[in-house]
Amino acid sequence: MANKRWYGKLLGFFAGAALMRGNPFLGALLGLLIGHAFDSDWFRLARDDPYAKLGLTAEASDAEVDQAYRRLISQYHPDRMAGAAPELRQQAEDRAREINGAYDRIKTLRQRR
């Protein structure tokens, strides 16, 4: 999937040229490279990866995503922890919220294709 963001490159180009007054061409080039890295999500942390939260990679099929979601949500659904200690129930709620968020994010990303 090609990334369609461009503003990091543009901002990096002008910021690099402005910051390196002695050699604005080199500054613009460095800024352009850093902007490309930003646009390509090189700086995104792995914990933000919705696929990793479901134990998958980005190459997983739609069926694999659905299967992983159903497996995990059935395991961590708060209703299954009705008789457990409040701390365990809270952990299950947090994990279920994380699983639901990751699944929703994957579905949104795949609809953009």
Q: Hey, where are the domains in the chain?
A: 7-39, 46-111
Predicted pLDDT at 1: 43
Ramachandran area for residue 41 (φ above 0: left; ψ -120 to 50: alpha; else beta): left
pLDDT in tens, the chain (113 residues): 455 777 788 888 888 888 888 888 888 888 888 888 877 767 665 557 899 899 998 899 999 999 999 999 999 888 888 888 888 889 999 999 999 999 999 999 888 76
Tally Cβ neighbours within 10 Å of residue 77.
Answer: 14
Q: Is the pTM of this model over 0.95?
A: no
Chain centre distance of CA 108:
12
The encoded tokens of residue 50 equal 């919705």
Cα within 13 Å of Cα(55), Cβ side: 9
* DSSP H/E element including 13: helix 7-19
**Which CATH architecture is the domain 46-111 placed in?**
Orthogonal Bundle (1.10)
The SS3 assignment for 36 reads helix
